[in-house]
Amino acid sequence: MGNCGVVGVNWGDEGKGRMVDLLTERYDIVVRYQGGGNAGHTVINEKGKFALHMLPSGVLRSGVVNILGGGVALDPENLWKEIEEVRVEDVEITPENLKISERASLLMPWHRKLDELEEARLADKKYGSTKQGIAPFYSDKYQKKTVLAGELLHPELLKAHLTDILEWKNLIITKVYGAEGYTWGMIEDWIEKYCDPIKPFLCDAGRFLMDAQESGKNILFEAQLGALRDIDYGIWPYTTSSTTLAKYAPIGCGAPAIEMTDVIGVIKAYSTCVGEGPFVCEMTGHEADLLREAGAEYGAKTGRPRRVGPLDLVATKYGAQLQTVTSLAVTKMDVLSYMEKIPVCVRYRVDGQETDQFPFPALLDRAEPVIEYIDGWHCDISGARRWEDLPEQAQNYINMIEHAMGCRVQYISVGPERDRIVVRS
Ligand code: GDP
């Protein structure tokens, strides 16, 4: 069957967790390879409703091995809290079904603090960070000023290494921001409380994956956020701080030789965006409120209302190209059922010129959406399980997406629960 990536084509929150939860039935291993606990996947299945931030969505299916690869921002505090939370719901998490790369760098308490301090300093110029410390973490990682998870297994080396970093960090926290620094005692307590419990899960994840591939196991890669938040090619600087693209997955998991036969690009039937930055197709006022309510568009991590808009074919096509998708999943089709006419952003107008090319980030503020309307289906589609069950107008909407993307829509999600899906053969 081969390996598969499930990736976001838009700004994140497309419903990737829902798709991974559905597909894990066919895979042996689920891997997270980038990002941290700053976004969240909401999954609803027979075990309950889960908001997963760090854990791969495969933990909800027994028999699946889950990996946190070397490319993730490993936040021991949030990870351990999340493990304890899902265990309450009878989800088993053991070193057999969760493996953490010893190569993953640790997100330290000061990363969260620095994120907050910098957003506060920026005031109305803030980036709209979720304040989970992701940007300070990745900049420290690339400055080689954090520690690898595997160092937890060598306490003496860890102490020496962290003491040096702490000295430098305290200078920044106290002298640049005028805030309170950390003592070694505080860090020691934090290690004992949140890092010691995750030590049994550490391993050479790259080696595990290469062995698994050799013995014929099928691997599913689960991305966080979407193409438009990619650090290199997204709406910079309103991006995340990691690579959200499918091509990075084998590197981020420590097994660059692994290839993906399928990349499923997840698209929401309309657009949402959390935080600051250009969002060309943004709706406002009553129209936006109706869509936000219909789609329950509030952030899984922060509860912030998401900005909403119609499906943006310009951004979505750009995202699908970046993700090298081989097929598409369209989620939340049921949410559009209340609309008589459905708006779609088909092109942008930049400085009076219409274009179907996604502009350079600094020009996005000058772009306006060109909107066309297509007929809505205006009825409940949440019971649809086969293509034939969908009303003609809903089929037309999907055909329009396929035509614009030049790619097959394989899955159409009509509700958040695992079985509310149309799978096309
Ligand atoms: P992810 O980070 O890409 O996994 O997406 P999120 O979990 O942040 O956001 C997707 C939200 O939409 C979650 O609350 C899901 O339960 C919900 N969802 C996913 N698919 C559907 C669908 O087809 N219909 C509806 N109504 N909700 C959906």
pLDDT tens track for 285-344: 999 999 999 999 987 667 789 999 999 999 999 999 999 999 999 999 999 999 999 999
Per-residue confidence (pLDDT) for residue 346, from 0 to 100: 98
Average of per-residue pLDDT across 382-406: 97
CA of 251 to the centre of ligand 1 (A): 27
Mean pLDDT over the full length of the chain:
94
Nearest atom in ligand 1 to 18's CA: 19
Active site residue 13: yes
Percent of the chain with pLDDT over 90: 86
- CATH for 268-423? 3.90.170.10
d(CA 186, CA 40): 28
Nearest atom in ligand 1 to 42's CA: 7
CA of 348 to the centre of ligand 1 (A): 27
Active site residue 189: no
Nearest atom in ligand 1 to 224's CA: 2
CATH 1.10.300.10 fits 105-198, yes or no: yes
Domain ranges of the chain: 4-104+200-264, 105-198, 268-423
Look up the pTM and report it. 0.93
The residue whose C-alpha atom lies closest to atom 16 belonging to ligand 1 is 416
The domain covering 4-104+200-264 belongs, at the CATH homologous superfamily level, to: Adenylosuccinate Synthetase, subunit A, domain 1 (3.40.440.10)
Ligand 1 environment, Cβ below 6 A: 8, 12-18, 39-42, 44, 300, 331-332, 334-335, 413-416
CA of 413 to the centre of ligand 1 (A): 9
Contact between residue 271 and residue 308 where contact means Cβ atoms under 8 Å apart: yes
DSSP assigned state of 305: B
Q: Residues 13, 75, 230, 334: which is the catalytic one?
A: 13
Q: Residues 21, 28, 41, 334: which is the catalytic one?
A: 41
Structure tokens at 372: 């066309």
CA of 200 to the centre of ligand 1 (A): 32
Q: Is the predicted pLDDT of residue 382 greater than 70, yes or no? A: yes
Q: Where are the beta strands (DSSP E) in 46-186?
A: 48-52, 65-68, 73-74, 98-101, 105-106
Q: Is the predicted pLDDT of residue 215 greater than 90, yes or no? A: yes
Any idea which residue has 């301090």 for tokens?
A: 117
